Amino acid sequence: MEGELRHEMGYSSVMTENRLTHAAFPPIFALATGLAGSMGRAAIAVLRVSGAGSREILHELCGGILPPARQASLRRLQHDGEVLDEALVLWFPGPRSYTGEDSFELHCHAGPAVIDAVSLALVALGARPAEAGEFTRRAVQAGRMDLVQAEAVADLVEAESAAQRRQALAQADGALSRLYDRWAERLKILLARQEALIDFPDDEVPDRVAAGLETERAALAAEMRAHLDDRRGELVRRGVTVVIAGAPNAGKSSLLNALAGYEAAIVTRRAGTTRDPVMVDWVLDGVKLRLIDTAGLRETEDEIEAEGIRRAMFHVKHADIVIHLFDDDVPALSFPGALLVRNKTDLAPAPSGVLGISAVTGDGIEALREALRDRLRHLTAGSGAPLTRARHRAGIGEAAAHLEQAGTLDWPELRGEEMRLAMRALGRLTGKVEVEAVLDVVFGEFCIGK
């Protein structure tokens, strides 16, 4: 059965303590495919329906004949004696569905009139339009996945790079959840041992129990802190920020255009042309980057240019990688850890030990890309499941803090209370406890239909 669920969902199923009955949820529907845009109309539109009463709705739409479960069937959709469309229909009886409820999909022709007609029929038959993230929210409430996996679904929908896709798939498959569940299990054992110290006299509990408890508590807190120090997941999810900084007319905008592959920034001979930062999203070796061209750094009396320089320094301060570009002598101003690059090597060679490029001719650009690849590997490579969101960071940080506080207390009752609070913080993270308190926050960023 577990294998069937895994195949059906595409990732592991994690049961939660907040499982609700399916009967509590009325049917909802949403367009699961995007609307036609600048690329023209699509041929097929997919409407998803889920909830109590879905069977009856599909039975009515298909003219009184329910299609076989989990088989694509061609059906003529009808309502009130009118044919709405000829569509492929997929019927998923619960609990083996994405939400755990009775669900179905209608693969209709994508014309707006068809979508409108089918949507109106669904409303007439008792379904309502879904809210953002409502399908996945129901899956969490039914125990089909936990909150960490649900967030991975949103990340997978938004993935723009191969690294983001791989990370989201691993998290959706439960990589992070399994780590947090292992921590929760270890913490449960620690708490049981701590309760033994409370319930029994000192002479009935061997000293090695207390010593082992303290060793394991410290080790678990240290693992959590190491997890918090690993920022790979957050970098991959949001993208690595690369800031190009340097003096006016050093060629920063030309370099941005050369790396981006198109004219993203205005290039002139006039110093101070770039005042507001110019940002370009770029993917290098499967990792999303945000390139930022900044105002030239120099002393100035111009109020507007001075504001541009202030913003440039802000971006340098918060960058993951800084490319410090110069075109003359090595600059006196330095940024710790910056990649020092000499531009305009078509006019003069780069000093020894400094990467040289010509943003105009393209010489050295590939070497610069390779240097960026090295920095990216350093920032994003590693093993294990890194945390990906601020919510995870807050939850693990709270759990670690309670464990560390427990180590400072003498009374076993107080130590036990700190461990219980750590357990609660982990439980909120995955949705094992107090799930309703965080559902609105988690699913508020989801798209309609997911």
Q: What is the pLDDT averaged over residues 202-222?
A: 79
Q: How far apart are CA 363 and CA 381, in angstroms?
A: 28
Query: Cis link prior to 248 (omega < 30° from 0)?
Result: no
Residue 48 annotated in ligand binding: yes
Residue 273 annotated in ligand binding: yes
Handedness of CA 98, 442, 145, 179 (dihedral sign): positive
Angstrom distances, CA of residue 185 to CA of 191, 347, 377 = 10, 64, 33
* pTM for this predicted structure: 0.78
Q: What is the pLDDT averaged over residues 200-228?
A: 81
Average pLDDT, the chain: 85
Residue 311 annotated in ligand binding: no
Residue 450 annotated in ligand binding: yes
Residue 254 annotated in ligand binding: yes
- Which class for 49: exposed (0-12), middle (13-18), buried (19 or more C-beta within 10 A)? buried
The answer to whether 75 touches 89, Cβ cutoff 8 Å, is yes
Which residue did the predictor score with more confidence, 269 or 206? 206
According to the model, what pLDDT value does residue 241 have? 95
Which letter, b or e, does each residue of 313-330 get, where b requires 16 or more Cβ atoms within 10 Å of its Cβ? bebbeebbbbbbbbbeee
Residue 263 annotated in ligand binding: no
> Which tokens belong to 282?
């770029």
According to the model, what pLDDT value does residue 11 have? 35
Query: Of 5-19, 136-150, 281-295, which range is least confident?
Result: 5-19
Which residue did the predictor score with more confidence, 272 or 198? 198
The answer to whether 293 touches 268, Cβ cutoff 8 Å, is no
Which residue did the predictor score with more confidence, 146 or 24? 146
Residue 249 annotated in ligand binding: yes
Residue 296 annotated in ligand binding: yes
For the segment 304-348, what is each residue's pLDDT rounded down to a tens digit? 878 888 898 999 999 999 999 998 877 777 888 999 999 999 888
pLDDT reading at 354 higher than 60: yes
Best CA proximity match to 255, nearest among 177, 304, 323, 188 = 323
Query: Of 10-19, 131-140, 319-328, 330-339, which range is least confident?
Result: 10-19
Per CATH, the number for 2-146 is 3.30.1360.120
Q: Strand, helix or coil at 258?
A: helix
Q: What is the pLDDT averaged over residues 185-199?
A: 82
Q: What is the pLDDT averaged over residues 173-185?
A: 93
For the segment 90-108, what is each residue's pLDDT rounded down to a tens digit? 999 999 999 999 999 999 9
Return the domain boundaries, the chain.
2-146, 169-230+387-430, 237-380
φ and ψ at residue 65, rounded to 5 degrees: -125, 110
Residue 42 annotated in ligand binding: no
Q: Strand, helix or coil at 106?
A: strand
For the segment 411-435, what is each residue's pLDDT rounded down to a tens digit? 888 998 999 999 999 988 888 765 4
Bridge partners, residue 238, by sequence: none
For the segment 382-413, what is each residue's pLDDT rounded down to a tens digit? 888 899 999 999 999 999 999 999 999 988 88
Residue 63 annotated in ligand binding: no
Residue 33 annotated in ligand binding: no
Residue 268 annotated in ligand binding: yes
Q: What is the pLDDT averaged over residues 234-258?
A: 91
Query: Cis link prior to 95 (omega < 30° from 0)?
Result: yes
Residue 252 annotated in ligand binding: yes
Residue 420 annotated in ligand binding: no
Q: How far apart are CA 432 and CA 146, in angstroms?
A: 8
For the segment 274-308, what is each residue's pLDDT rounded down to a tens digit? 557 888 999 999 999 999 998 888 877 778 878 88
Domain 237-380 classification at class level: alpha beta
Residue 380 annotated in ligand binding: no
Residue 99 annotated in ligand binding: no
Q: Which CATH number is correct for 169-230+387-430, 3.40.50.10860, 1.20.120.430, 1.10.150.80, 1.20.120.330?
A: 1.20.120.430
Cα maximum dimension of the chain: 84
Residue 295 annotated in ligand binding: yes
Residue 294 annotated in ligand binding: yes
The answer to whether 358 touches 346, Cβ cutoff 8 Å, is yes
Residue 105 annotated in ligand binding: yes
**Residue keyed to tokens 């539109």:** 45
Q: How far apart are CA 74 and CA 106, in angstroms?
A: 10
Please state, for a pLDDT cut of 70, what percent of the chain lies above it. Answer: 84
